[in-house]
Amino acid sequence: MNEVKYLIVGGGVAGTTAAETIRATDKEGSIAIVSDEPYRFYSRILLSKPNFFLEKIPFDQIWLKDEAWYRQNQISLMLGKEATKLDPKGRVVSLNDGSAWHYEKLLLAVGACARRWSVPGAEKKGVLSLRTLDDAKEVISRVKNIKQAILIGSGFISFEMADMLVMAGVDTTLVILESYYWEPVLDEASGRMIEKVLIEHGVKILHKSEVFQIEGEENVTGVVLKDGTKLPCQLIVAGIGVECPLGWIKEAGVIVNRGILADEYLQTNFADIYTAGDCAEFNDLVLGERVLLGNWVNAQVHGRTAAANMVGGHQPSKMVSFYTTQGMGLAIAFVGNVRVTPDREVVVRGTLEAGSYGRLILHNGKLVGATLLNLTREMGMLAKIIERGADLTAKKPFLADLKNDLSMI
Amino acid sequence: MEAAPIRKVKRVIVDRNLCIGAGSCVVAAPTVFELNGENKAVIKQQGGVKNSGPAEREVLEDQAIPYETLLAAAQSCPTKAIIIVDEQGTQIYP
């Protein structure tokens, strides 16, 4: 049996930030990170960015910690290993290499995996999701030699991939189930605004369409859609969402839903087991609900918070989460909780004609989130308003007019 | 071993080509960084000036920002787009 004081499962931004934060306080306690990938900490957020693909950002920019950093901080890194079993009473994690690790505090920062695409032929070469550095390497090597590509799904990944493929001169078709881009997360006006820039840049969009089968021998050569349409392609990137790989965690008795359930201190139902990042379904004090968020800053803040609590602190995770992207002259930003449930109300700010279009989402009169097209300059202010939690019922007409300065709220 | 001398930040720069608008710097040092309309981080300076710099220490809007906070903001960037230079003109990060 190996002994380690702090065991971290997951070597991404949540796990690595946690290790760094633990070491800043506890100079002596042993720390070990287990990662199922063969690489040390890298910038997962960079993987889908066009400038990275087209090598305008040097490839080595991907590495966020060098090997010496792990050594200097006495953090042992076990790469290419999977945790297979957890015994929360005995405080033991077993790995697929047969080793067992006894811990004092455990952090589950296992992230999310790309959802499996179950279309016949999805195992062919050139059919990819974009979640790991190996996926990105495959796309980089393929994009130089292809004529046509197909993107599946409407979201951040497809938008960024479309931008990259257009820049690379690849004929790109977007195949989406929905009747407009990003339905139902966005309203139709926002979706059409995104589609307009995609189409202007030469991307073809097929709505209410679904792939029936993928063609090719070893490598993908095309797809057949459910309506019988055949499209040639040498690359498919499926941006159809993520899911959390929680089997061994659930079996151990850790309570899970879509993610690992945790309170605002990122503590699970076991006092010495914490969770952080994309896999943590935690009690968000700002939003007043339990949420599962998949973005870089959230994972970073989670890593810091979980670590602070693992070394004996009592600090809640409190931030308004956000994610942005930009391409083809359009800046997209989501802040807070952008889900529009029946009990929520949307105030539209700006107009399509003005080129800036925001949707402010209110719950019981309080701002809980916003989707912003060409309005990122207001994101910081909106985050502050969400955090403040003031009743804006009487301010709705004010919010709707782009000319009004939000700092006056 | 002698204690390392306390270093002071002289200059902050955002490399616009590297910045992807992840916003880690905005979370780590909200009085210094914000995202502009193009999703790029800008440095908040006196007189309402906001740009990618180079911004000298003495023109920052937040004069009291600790060295550690600025360095942590730079270190939190997922593309290493924030450059910090010390008083000797040495690049501290990245």
What's the first-to-final CA gap in chain A, in angstroms?
59
When CB atoms are compared, the residue of B38, B76, B80 closest to A326 is B38
Q: Is 50 exceeded by the pLDDT of residue B1?
A: no
If asked whether residues A137 and A232 sit together in one domain, one would say yes
Last residue in a domain, options A238, A263, A298: A238
If asked whether residues A233 and A171 sit together in one domain, one would say yes
Last residue in a domain, options A213, A238, A263: A238
Using the Cα atoms of residue A288, residue A239, residue A297 and residue B21 in order, give the sign of their dihedral.
negative
When CB atoms are compared, the residue of B35, B37, B78 closest to A45 is B78
**Partners of A95 in the beta sheet?**
A83
Residue A208 inside a domain? The answer is yes
Whole-prediction pTM? 0.94
* Contact state of B24 with A300 under an 8 Å Cβ cutoff: yes
CATH number at residue A359: 3.30.390.30
If asked whether residues A253 and A275 sit together in one domain, one would say yes
| The pLDDT value given to residue B3 | 45
Distance of alpha carbon A179 from alpha carbon A192, whole angstroms: 10
The SS3 call for residue B41 is strand
CATH number at residue A129: 3.50.50.60
| pLDDT tens per residue across all 409 residues of chain A | 999 999 999 999 999 999 999 999 999 999 999 999 999 999 999 999 998 988 888 899 999 999 999 999 999 999 999 999 999 999 999 999 999 999 999 999 999 999 989 999 999 999 999 999 999 999 999 999 999 999 999 999 999 999 999 999 999 999 999 999 999 999 999 999 999 999 999 999 999 999 999 999 999 999 999 999 999 999 999 999 999 889 999 999 999 999 999 999 999 999 999 999 999 999 999 988 899 999 999 999 999 999 999 999 999 998 999 999 999 999 999 999 999 999 999 999 999 898 999 999 999 999 999 999 999 999 999 999 999 999 999 999 999 999 999 988 8
| The pLDDT value given to residue A281 | 97
Contact residues, chain B, for A304 at CB < 8 Å:
none
If asked whether residues A99 and A167 sit together in one domain, one would say no
Q: How many structural domains comprise chain A?
A: 3
If asked whether residues A121 and A234 sit together in one domain, one would say yes
If asked whether residues A233 and A120 sit together in one domain, one would say yes
* Contact state of B21 with A297 under an 8 Å Cβ cutoff: no
Residue A80 inside a domain? The answer is yes
Distance of alpha carbon B87 from alpha carbon A366, whole angstroms: 46
Nearest Cα to Cα of residue A356 among A320, A300, A406: A406
Q: Is 90 exceeded by the pLDDT of residue B5?
A: no
Tell whether B30 is within 8 A of chain A (Cβ): yes
| The pLDDT value given to residue A159 | 97
If asked whether residues A278 and A182 sit together in one domain, one would say no
Residue A351 inside a domain? The answer is yes
Q: What six digits make up the tokens of A11? A: 């070597």
Give the tens place of pLDDT for each residue, B12-69: 999 999 999 999 999 999 999 999 999 999 999 999 999 999 999 999 999 999 999 9
Nearest Cα to Cα of residue A297 among A320, A279, A274: A320
**Antiparallel, parallel or unpaired: β A171-175 and A204-206:** parallel
Residue A51 inside a domain? The answer is no
What band does B8 get if pLDDT is binned at 50, 70 and 90? confident
**Antiparallel, parallel or unpaired: β A230-232 and A92-95:** unpaired
Q: What six digits make up the tokens of A338? A: 């952008």
Please tell me what DSSP assigns to residue A177: S
If asked whether residues A289 and A358 sit together in one domain, one would say no
Residue A294 inside a domain? The answer is yes
If asked whether residues A172 and A78 sit together in one domain, one would say no
If asked whether residues A136 and A176 sit together in one domain, one would say yes
Residue A339 inside a domain? The answer is yes
- Domain encompassing residue A36: 2-45+61-112+244-310
Please, which residues have CB within 8 angstroms of residue A219's CB and are 6 or more apart in sequence?
A124, A125, A126, A234
Q: Is 90 exceeded by the pLDDT of residue B7?
A: no
Last residue in a domain, options A186, A211, A238: A238
What band does B6 get if pLDDT is binned at 50, 70 and 90? low
* Amino acid identity for residue A83 in this structure: A
If asked whether residues A330 and A343 sit together in one domain, one would say yes
For the beta carbon of residue A54, count every other beta carbon within 10 angstroms: 14
Contact residues, chain A, for B30 at CB < 8 Å:
380
Tell whether B37 is within 8 A of chain A (Cβ): yes
Residue A193 inside a domain? The answer is yes
Residue A54 inside a domain? The answer is no
* Contact state of B18 with A301 under an 8 Å Cβ cutoff: no
If asked whether residues A302 and A367 sit together in one domain, one would say no
Q: What six digits make up the tokens of A381? A: 């202010």
